[in-house]
Amino acid sequence: MLKPVLSSGLDRAAHLRTDQEALNGLMAVPSTRVLRVFDGRFAWESDSKESVNLFFLGLDEANIAYFANHQNHAELADAYSLRDSNWPYLDQSIATYAVALTNWHATHQRCSRCGGDTEPILAGAARRCLVEGIDLYPRSDPAVIISVLDRDDRLLLGRQKVWPENKFSAFAGFVEPGESLEACVRRELMEECGVEIETVAYLGSQAWPFPASLMVAFQAIAENPLQARPDGIEIEEIKWFTRDELLRSYLSKEVLLPPRISIARRMIEHWYGTELHR
């Protein structure tokens, strides 16, 4: 199993979401941090703490408060994305939360039941329909991601058509209605690379806010490794790797791997046995 990530180090402090006076007090504290977010990119607020489109995220172990400032414009010249950020783990976790939350607010301006306008409530943890008065909460879409091994402990990676020619990763897909996680693993592997599997073992999970996924990681053993082939629709190329082959390909840049922030990278390095560095 992957090394567990049990906590981001951020207490979401749900009891404060209904205490506007307490939140106003936190905003006046100099140590309070505000993350500006627009369209999946983010940067720490350098000076002012505007109260417009401000969502409460939580408190860290030192009781420092964190907020997300949902920007309605793209003036983030100093911004990062989760794919290129080298921030500490706590900051990356806060950014993941903030991006997911602001994405949801941006796409839920209207009620999914009646089409009426909605407004943020509970310091950004939900929205309320102004017509029907119902409360709407963010949802996470479950998805599986799988590292496929054969009986010789080789790793199978695939390349999507939309990726660069040398970028490879684990196989993944969304869980369909009424489908278990294990059934999704089997279906996705059969659809994408024609692999039938013997066993499925849980590895770990990761929130991935593009747009609002919960990635659940598994390891599977292929029954028919010689019959593995790309579907030609979503997956254009697949390759089996020994550890030596993957290291050589990675060092020579013949293979690009997922970013370090992603659970896909953790899964590959878990199989390899250590972190991969150039």
CA angle, 226 as apex, 187 and 275 as ends, to 5°? 75
pLDDT value at residue 86:
73
Same domain, 234 and 157: yes
Mean pLDDT, residues 2-13: 76
Q: What is the pLDDT of residues 64-122, one digit of tens each?
A: 999 999 887 656 556 677 766 677 888 888 999 999 999 999 999 999 999 999 999 99
pLDDT value at residue 75:
61
Same domain, 57 and 84: yes
Mean pLDDT, residues 17-21: 96
Same domain, 147 and 257: yes
Question: Does 174 reside within a domain?
Answer: yes
Same domain, 103 and 145: no
pLDDT value at residue 18:
96
Mean pLDDT, residues 5-31: 89
More confident residue, 85 or 190: 190
pLDDT value at residue 59:
97
Same domain, 168 and 244: yes
For β-strands 141-149 and 213-222, DSSP reports them as parallel
Question: Does 65 reside within a domain?
Answer: yes
Same domain, 266 and 158: yes
First to last CA, the chain: 25
Q: What is the pLDDT of residues 194-212, one digit of tens each?
A: 999 988 999 999 999 888 8
How many separate domains does the chain show? 3
Q: In sequence order, which residues have a C-beta less than 8 Å from that of residue 132 and are 6 or more positions away? A: 111, 113, 114, 116
Same domain, 184 and 251: yes
Least confident of 32-46, 132-146, 218-232: 32-46
Among candidate residues 89, 107, 125, the one where a domain is terminated: 107
CA atoms within 13 A on the CB side of 164: 8
Question: Does 2 reside within a domain?
Answer: no
Mean pLDDT, residues 260-274: 95
**Residue 140 confidence class, pLDDT cut points 50, 70, 90:** very high
pLDDT at 8 over 90: no
Question: Does 277 reside within a domain?
Answer: no
CA atoms within 13 A on the CB side of 74: 2
Model pTM?
A: 0.89
Taking CB atoms within 8 Å and a gap of at least 24, the contacts of 112-119 are 112/136
Same domain, 161 and 265: yes
CATH number of the domain that residue 162 is part of: 3.90.79.10
* Phi, psi angles (nearest 5°) of residue 8: -80, -10
Closest to 211 in 3D by CA, of 104, 56, 98:
104
| Whole-number average pLDDT of the chain | 92
How far is residue 127's CA from residue 243's CA, in Å, rounded to a whole number? 48
Same domain, 243 and 148: yes
What proportion of the chain, given as a percentage, has pLDDT over 90? 76
Same domain, 190 and 89: no
pLDDT value at residue 76:
57
Question: Does 66 reside within a domain?
Answer: yes
Same domain, 56 and 156: no
Question: Does 8 reside within a domain?
Answer: no
pLDDT at 48 over 80: no
Among candidate residues 58, 86, 107, the one where a domain is terminated: 107
pLDDT value at residue 56:
97
**Structural domain boundaries enclosing 127:** 108-138
Same domain, 160 and 266: yes
Question: Does 116 reside within a domain?
Answer: yes
Question: Does 205 reside within a domain?
Answer: yes
pLDDT value at residue 273:
97
